[in-house]
């Protein structure tokens, strides 16, 4: 009979986040406990570490590369990714490079350098790497991708907690918070909790109208733009 493994019992402070016009971001507390077989804690020579990964819904993204031609920046090469996460944050009790090897990081997508972005074309590996680095850099600068080593606090080897920042520009949809228990370079346990982020109030009505009645939504948007432009011009002439 195999040796019993530890069990993770994770939770999140807020499983539903509503985005209104005044939304400026949110901070989630991810916490939980590690249940060890027989209540026996690991020895200090082989401590356990906790890694938390929060992912947003995947989306298709087209990345364009610009180059300067005759003094003007123009779009050059481009590469589409079929399933890039719209949001990605990894928090760990120690730097992820100190916890697992490259193969394990790739299997569980632990770290920005280990994301499986699924390019839609068979571009050369060096070109894929260049575009992947560019995509990650763009997402990082907008606050949608980030790494936070040593952001997970572990108490008495059993309780853990971490805080993840959700930026104001976060996309809506079903998010997942994955927790991994790691010891001696191996993932011993994993658990997942879902987080729903959705629009509320007038923003939700506008988003639904854009999805369900795209043609009417576009015509109304154009009409309003013309009306506001005409009104602004009329007021300027009167003044």
Task: Provide the residue ranges of all domains of the chain, joining segments of one domain with +.
Answer: 7-198, 200-239
Using alpha carbons, select from 187, 188, 183 the residue that is nearest to residue 45: 183
Distance CA(32)–CA(178), nearest Å, equals: 12
Query: Where is pLDDT greater, at 65 or 179?
Result: 179
Q: CA gyration radius for the chain?
A: 23
The residue-averaged pLDDT of 51-69 equals: 85
Task: Write the pLDDT tens digit of every residue in 137-164.
Answer: 999 999 999 999 999 999 988 999 999 9
Task: Write the pLDDT tens digit of every residue in 184-231.
Answer: 999 999 999 999 988 764 444 444 544 555 565 466 556 656 666 677
State the pLDDT at residue 219. Answer: 62
Total-model pTM: 0.77
Helical pair 201-212 and 214-238, crossing angle rounded to 10 deg = 120
State the pLDDT at residue 180. Answer: 97
Residue 73 CA, distance from chain mean position: 30
Distance CA(176)–CA(236), nearest Å, equals: 51
Burial of 97 (0-12, 13-18, 19+ CB in 10 A): middle
φ, ψ for residue 33, nearest 5 deg: -140, 155
Residue 114 pLDDT class (50, 70, 90 cuts): very high
State the pLDDT at residue 205. Answer: 44
State the pLDDT at residue 202. Answer: 45
Kindly provide the residue ranges of all beta strands, DSSP E only, lying in the chain, ordered along the sequence.
7-12, 16-19, 26-35, 48-55, 58-69, 72-85, 88-92, 145-149, 153-155, 159-166, 173-183, 186-199
- The CATH architecture one would assign to domain 7-198 is Sandwich (2.60)
Distance CA(140)–CA(133), nearest Å, equals: 10
């Amino acid at each position: 009979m195999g040796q019993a493994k530890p069990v993770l019992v994770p939770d999140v402070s807020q499983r539903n986040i509503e985005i209104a016009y005044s939304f400026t971001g949110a901070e989630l507390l991810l916490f939980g406990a590690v249940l060890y077989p027989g209540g026996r804690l690991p020895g200090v020579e082989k401590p356990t570490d906790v890694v938390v990964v929060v992912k947003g819904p995947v989306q298709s993204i087209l990345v364009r590369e610009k180059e300067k031609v005759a003094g003007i920046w123009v779009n050059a090469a481009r590469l589409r990714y079929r399933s890039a996460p719209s949001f990605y944050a990894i928090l760990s009790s120690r730097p992820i490079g100190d916890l697992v090897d490259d193969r394990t990081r790739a299997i569980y997508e632990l770290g920005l350098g280990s994301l499986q972005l699924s390019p839609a074309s068979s571009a050369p590996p060096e070109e894929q790497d260049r575009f992947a680095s560019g995509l990650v850099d763009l997402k990082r600068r907008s606050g949608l991708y980030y790494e936070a080593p040593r952001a997970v606090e572990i108490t008495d080897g059993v309780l853990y907690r971490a805080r993840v920042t959700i930026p104001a520009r976060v996309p809506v949809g079903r998010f997942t918070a994955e927790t991994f228990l790691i010891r001696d370079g191996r993932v011993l346990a994993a658990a997942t909790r879902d987080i729903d982020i959705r629009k509320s109030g007038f923003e939700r009505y506008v988003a639904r109208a854009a999805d369900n009645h795209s043609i009417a939504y576009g015509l109304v948007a154009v009409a309003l733009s013309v009306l506001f432009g005409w009104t602004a011009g009329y007021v300027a002439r009167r003044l």
